[in-house]
Amino acid sequence: MILENSRYQLGGVDLLEVANEFGTPVYVYDADTIADKYQQINTAFSAVKLRIKFACKALSNLSVLRYMKSLGAGLDVVSIQEAMLGVKAGFEPKEIFFSPNGVSFDEICQGVGLGLAINIDNISILEQFGHKYGNTVPCSIRLNPHIVAGGNAHIQTGHIDSKFGISIYQMRHLTRVVASDNIKVVGLHLHTGSDILDASVFTKGADILFEAAKNFKDLEFVDFGSGFKVPYKEDDAVTDMAELGKELTPRFKTFCKSYGRELELWFEPGKYIVSEAGVFLVRTNVVKQTMATVFVGVESGQNHLTRPMYYNAYHEIVNISNPEGTKRVYTVVGYICETDTFGWDRKLNEVREGDILAFKNAGAYGFTMSNNYNSRLRPAEVFIYKGKAHLIRKHEPFDDLLRNQVEIKL
């Protein structure tokens, strides 16, 4: 999002015009930013056989998924429903990496039936998988490396108390299960969480994966998950993708040489690719001054953007209606009957009732985590492609709240 001639633009499109044309609240995504972030990873790892599996849970709109496929991405999904969306968007089932957690074995079987690449993260399911499929259906295994990645504790998934993955300390048990049913393991996977700055987290994970790989003779890939950090504030630290490539590439090549053949290196980024590509536009309903605080109440809340309340996540907020206004301090809150504060004590250009505010870094885990609390309706989505704004999801109609309700006679 840039300011030109006192108007904020995204992808060359005036955001106030987007708000006026499509209505608010509305999520807006820029295709060029997505392509740029995707290419940064490709460039950093150009010396290896790289596969990027976009994490569908970050942004699952069909139009965005189709665009991801056009860039050359595969898909990482965590539910059978996300997998079905991927197929609907045009992905071949073999391009879809099915990596669920805590699901029933029936859902795993559905994934096999669709022809997905199956990733298993607990021994119970692995045993059932082996009993049913033996070596006729390959799979990969998610390991828990017991690495504390740092950053926000709410989004770390590789520590000892995490529900994700099979502990590396269960390797002896794991290999016995694999051997007992002759399970064909073609991949090893780990994901330590989000907002990882230090390349050493990935290199530590690499050392663990490479050591574990000695126990499996049929590997075709190793998957390092993602967790790359994006900037939320001006001058915020970010993952240096080029540096990560320099650190990890030679280690991976050395491993492949010792393993005896060249494997594929996989990542499954979500936030890194789409977060900075998105903004969320909302209209100001009320400016309310109390004895201690000036509140800006907007036509949204945790029902549309839950990350600030759920993860204590920071989103920069900009008044795009009054870019030249005097800076004042506000607390921006939602219209939900809960404490749904988007930001305390934010310095914004003077906000007036009716002004449009833009929440930056809203491309990931925004609409996909939205809900209907207070019977509020979900917002629209717009995709900016080749300098033109396209509606890719309509504002949710009230009838959708009633669609699956069954009335009884009382």
Query: Catalytic residue among 56, 109, 256, 337, which?
Result: 337
Q: Give per-residue pLDDT as tens, 280-304.
A: 999 999 999 999 999 999 999 999 9
The answer as to whether 261 is a domain residue is yes
Respond yes or no: is residue 56 known to be catalytic: no
Q: Residue 157: what pLDDT?
A: 44
Q: Is the pLDDT of residue 205 over 90?
A: no
Q: What percent of the chain has pLDDT over 70?
A: 95
Residue 393: beta bridge partners? 381
Can you tell me whether residue 142 is helix, strand or coil? strand
Instruction: Say whether both 281 and 216 belong to one domain.
Output: no
The residue range of the domain holding 16 is 2-28+275-402
Q: Residue 322: what pLDDT?
A: 97
Separation between Cα atoms, residue 20 and residue 178, nearest integer Å: 58
Residue 327: beta bridge partners? 349
Instruction: Say whether both 159 and 96 belong to one domain.
Output: yes
Instruction: Say whether both 90 and 7 belong to one domain.
Output: no
φ/ψ of residue 52, rounded to 5: -105, 120
Among 218, 246, 269, the domain-final residue is: 269
Q: Which residues have C-beta within 8 Å of that of residue 192, sequence separation ≥ 6? A: 145, 147, 149, 156, 157, 158, 201, 205, 225, 227
**Domain at 171, CATH number:** 3.20.20.10
Q: Residue 196: what pLDDT?
A: 56
Separation between Cα atoms, residue 107 and residue 251, nearest integer Å: 36
Range of weakest confidence among 88-92, 141-145, 334-338, 392-396: 141-145
Q: Which residues have C-beta within 8 Å of that of residue 250, sequence separation ≥ 6? A: none
The answer as to whether 292 is a domain residue is yes
Among 238, 269, 300, the domain-final residue is: 269
Q: Residue 24: what pLDDT?
A: 98
DSSP, res 182 = T
Rounded average pLDDT over 82-104: 97
Instruction: Say whether both 115 and 207 belong to one domain.
Output: yes
Instruction: Say whether both 194 and 323 belong to one domain.
Output: no
Q: Residue 197: what pLDDT?
A: 57
Instruction: Say whether both 68 and 185 belong to one domain.
Output: yes
Instruction: Say whether both 134 and 210 belong to one domain.
Output: yes
Instruction: Say whether both 304 and 173 belong to one domain.
Output: no
Rounded average pLDDT over 130-158: 75
Separation between Cα atoms, residue 357 and residue 1, nearest integer Å: 13
Q: DSSP letters along 9-25, please?
A: EETTEEHHHHHHHH-SS
Structure tokens at 245: 């490539």
Separation between Cα atoms, residue 350 and residue 138, nearest integer Å: 59
Can you tell me whether residue 374 is helix, strand or coil? helix
Range of weakest confidence among 38-47, 82-91, 208-217: 208-217
**Domain at 372, CATH number:** 2.40.37.10
Q: DSSP letters along 292-359, please?
A: S-EEEEES--TTT--HHHHH-----EEETT-TTSPEEEEEEE-SSSS--EEEEEEEEE---TT-EEEE
Instruction: Say whether both 291 and 310 belong to one domain.
Output: yes
Instruction: Say whether both 335 and 357 belong to one domain.
Output: yes
The answer as to whether 93 is a domain residue is yes
Q: Is the pLDDT of residue 158 over 50?
A: no
The answer as to whether 223 is a domain residue is yes
Instruction: Say whether both 81 and 101 belong to one domain.
Output: yes
Q: Is the pLDDT of residue 357 over 90?
A: yes
Rounded average pLDDT over 210-229: 92
Among 269, 301, 322, the domain-final residue is: 269
Q: Give per-residue pLDDT as tens, 172-185.
A: 999 999 999 999 99
Name the residue with tokens 């490709």.
42
Separation between Cα atoms, residue 31 and residue 386, nearest integer Å: 8
Q: Is the pLDDT of residue 154 over 90?
A: no
How many domains does the chain divide into?
Answer: 2
* Confidence band of 149 (pLDDT split at 50, 70, 90): low
The answer as to whether 41 is a domain residue is no
Q: Residue 147: what pLDDT?
A: 72
Number of alpha carbons in the 13 Å side-chain half-sphere of residue 93: 12
Q: Give per-residue pLDDT as tens, 335-350.
A: 999 989 999 999 999 9
The answer as to whether 325 is a domain residue is yes
Q: Residue 235: what pLDDT?
A: 81
Instruction: Say whether both 308 and 385 belong to one domain.
Output: yes
Q: Mean of the per-residue pLDDT values for the chain?
A: 93
The answer as to whether 235 is a domain residue is yes
Range of weakest confidence among 191-195, 220-224, 375-379: 191-195
The answer as to whether 293 is a domain residue is yes
Separation between Cα atoms, residue 78 and residue 113, nearest integer Å: 16
* Confidence band of 227 (pLDDT split at 50, 70, 90): confident
